[in-house]
A and B are shown apart, each in its own frame.
Chain A
Amino acid sequence: MSTTAQLRTESGDAGTPDAPLLELKEMRVFYGAIEALKGIGLTVGKGEIVALLGGNGAGKTTTLRTVSGMLQPRHGEVLLRGERIDGIKSHELVRFGIGHVPEGRRVFATMTVLENLEMGAYKFSSVDSGDLDRVFTLFPRLAERRSQQAGTLSGGEQQMLAIGRALMGRPELLLLDEPSMGLAPLIVQQIFEIIKEINDQGTTVLLVEQNATQALGLADRGYVLETGSVAMSGPAGELLSDSRIRAAYLGEGAA
């Protein structure tokens, strides 16, 4: 790699002559006086899996929370299919086709699995049985435990439920915040395979991960955040072979 920190391949979006599905422009987000995002720019093309990498406090979660309307940017724009969506509240934004699986899963612990999934379809006037079938096909475990309280599920099952709950809203763009957190490697493997499958079925995915190897193994492209700025970006394969990424995130000795 050269001395520049950039690895840009913005031209890689061949299939989208129109606006990308999601685009962040110079997005700056503050917590009080603290600037958490210092002018983030990124794009997610329709049908892609894009990984958002970085250490603790880099701004990954903040980015997702801003996209889904839980936080508002002080500067910059959030564009969905070329139209600005910043300033729209999160409960209205779900109607625009954004599904957000929050960090730490946050299933409704004292509701049953089925009730959690029904909550995912809250924006619709009724629960579509086809949507339920789809989720139960992706996650047979959830079908078995449909009338069990969500709080009694294992961590992996809760993650499946959190993803299934978001899918019930038929999102075009799925935001996944650290789906591998605290899960056994085998379960992580499973979850990632399902994410791939969801993507194959036509859902675009923006994936936040600390587990860089696995995320880049799945993703088409990746962005690396460092203290609120994009430090690197490029096709997943290139990032995966980049020595500094290997040093910083893959636990290999610094070059």
Chain B
Amino acid sequence: MSLQEFWDYLVLGVMLGSLYAVIAIGYTLVYGVLQLINFAHSEVFMLGAYGSLIVLQLLDPGDNPSALASIGFVALAMAGSALFGGVTAYGLEKVAYRPLRRRGAPRLIFLITAIGASFFLYNLAGKLFGRDPMTLPEMYDNHDVFSVFGAGVNITQVLQFLTAVVMMVGLDLLVNRTKLGKGIRAVAQDAEVASLMGVDIDRVISRTFVIGGVLGGVAGFLFANLNQVSYTMGFIPGITAFAAAVVGGIGNIRGAMAGGVLIGVVETMTVPLLGDEWRSVSAMVVLILVLMFRPMGILGKQVGRAA
């Protein structure tokens, strides 16, 4: 691997990692308040991608939209993905998990329900939207805008990275600075005592799902913008982002961010070194190594201190 290749792949890896980080936050947030691994989160991601696809198909950008129109298309596609992701996550909590919580179901039942919900959602998407992969209509003329250490960075990558960073910073502020954020952290630490302070646990949990869902949905759009939209697109990124959440320390938001970037970089670096077929393997190897030597994750398990 030449030095130039190294920089090329590093830039790609950080970009991909920022996306994993955003998805991983969804897992870690929900884990924080419910101690539940929401395996259906990969379907929130997938449906977010369909949300942007539907918006773009309705708007039909056509050939060579103006710069201003391009910005509009991106914004609306993103809004569509956020809406789909948020609504899916909201519905999941309401329909699948809340009834279990009411009855005090054991953890295992939550997990099985999450997997069942995942199967249901991706098959539903296959039925509704068709089973052939689709490509998002072009919203802008993609070309390199600048280079980092000689590695060209195009508009799609800038969009992906900037959006991911803005969402992460926004989330960090929300969790640490707002009243809702304080409520989320309190519920994560001690839900019963939080309720004694006047925190409506149901509402906080519901909003936590929506926040994770919006992030996951937008990540689905960003991912689809690089690749394709399909009903099975959620599985691999979902599992990888889940690994990232565990690597960073599940329940820890900044851990999810760090884990996402780490896994993204390792995965991408594997391609020139070992070949494309080793990508997912390397991500799981990172997970296994971290679990062996630091089972609580890189930044440690800090449920409640959701950041």
Contact = CB atoms under 8 A, between A and B. Distances in A.
Interface of A: 68, 70, 89-92, 94-95, 100, 102, 106, 108-111, 115, 118-120, 122-123, 165, 169
Contacts of B283: none
Given A100-B196, A123-B197, 12 more contacts: A68-B196, A91-B197, A91-B200, A94-B196, A102-B192, A110-B189, A111-B305, A119-B182, A119-B199, A122-B197, A165-B197, A169-B198
Nearest to B179: A122
B186 interface: yes
A119 B194 contact: yes
Chain B contact-residue range equals 20 to 34
15 contacts: A70-B192, A91-B195, A91-B196, A94-B196, A94-B197, A102-B192, A108-B186, A108-B193, A108-B304, A109-B304, A111-B305, A118-B182, A119-B182, A119-B186, A120-B197
Contact of B198 (A95, A108, A115): A95
Query: Is chain B's binding surface mostly helix, strand, loop or mixed?
Result: helix
B182 A115 contact: yes
A91 B182 contact: no
Contacts of B194: 119
A70 B189 contact: no
Contacts of B179: 122
Contacts of A100: 196
Contact of B185 (A94, A106, A111, A165): A111
Nearest to B305: A110
A106 B182 contact: no
B246 to A, nearest CB: 20
Contacts of B196: 68, 70, 90-91, 94, 100, 102
Contacts of B182: 111, 115, 118-119, 122
A169 B179 CA distance: 15
B302 interface: yes
B144 interface: no
Interface in B1-59: none
Nearest to B176: A115
Given A110-B304, A119-B186, A102 B198 contact: no
B201 interface: yes
Contacts of B276: none
Nearest to B189: A108
A95 B304 CA distance: 24
A102 B176 CA distance: 25
Question: Nearest 3 CB-CB pairs, A to B?
Answer: A123-B198, A110-B305, A94-B198
Contacts of B302: 110
